[in-house]
């Protein structure tokens, strides 16, 4: 098996997680009760982000999610590559 691209999986993770937080945030702007628990959870993790039904809040949460998803995806690929190289030896 080949190696995973650390940057590629980081970009994919950032895009998926950022899109998820953005989508829930935008739906919450339209339907204020939608996704509140999810947004409160995100606000407890990301410093400076408040689960307020405003566009600025949605954008701040989305930026945090993109960075978080990138780091998570990159770490996942890095650990996978590290583990697969140890197993081959």
What is the separation, in whole angstroms, between the first and last Cα of the chain? Answer: 13
Q: How many domains does the chain have?
A: 1
* Alpha-carbon span 43 to 3, nearest angstrom: 34
pLDDT at 89: 64
pLDDT of residue 57: 96
Q: What is the mean pLDDT of residues 20-28?
A: 98
- Asked whether residue 23 is assigned to any structural domain, the reply reads yes
- Is position 89 within any domain? no
pLDDT at 65: 98
Virtual torsion, Cα 24, 56, 69, 47, nearest 10 deg: -110
pLDDT at 87: 80
Is 1 inside any structural domain?
no
pLDDT digits (tens, 9 = 90+) for 33-66: 999 999 999 999 999 999 999 999 999 999 999 9
Q: Is residue 38 situated within a structural domain?
A: yes
Query: 27-39: per-residue pLDDT in tens?
Result: 999 999 999 999 9
Tell me the C-alpha distance between 65 and 15, whole Å: 9
- Domain range for 63 is 6-84
Task: Report the candidate in 7, 51, 6, 5 with the shortest Cα–Cα distance to residue 29.
Answer: 51
């Amino acid at each position: 098996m080949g190696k995973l691209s650390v940057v590629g999986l980081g970009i994919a993770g950032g895009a998926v997680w950022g899109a998820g937080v953005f989508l829930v945030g935008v739906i919450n702007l339209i339907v204020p009760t939608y996704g509140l628990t999810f947004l409160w959870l995100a606000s407890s993790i990301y410093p400076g982000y408040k689960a307020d039904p405003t566009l600025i809040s949605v954008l701040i949460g989305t930026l945090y999610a993109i960075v978080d998803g990138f780091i998570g995806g990159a770490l996942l690929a890095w650990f996978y590559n590290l583990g697969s190289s140890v197993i081959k030896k």
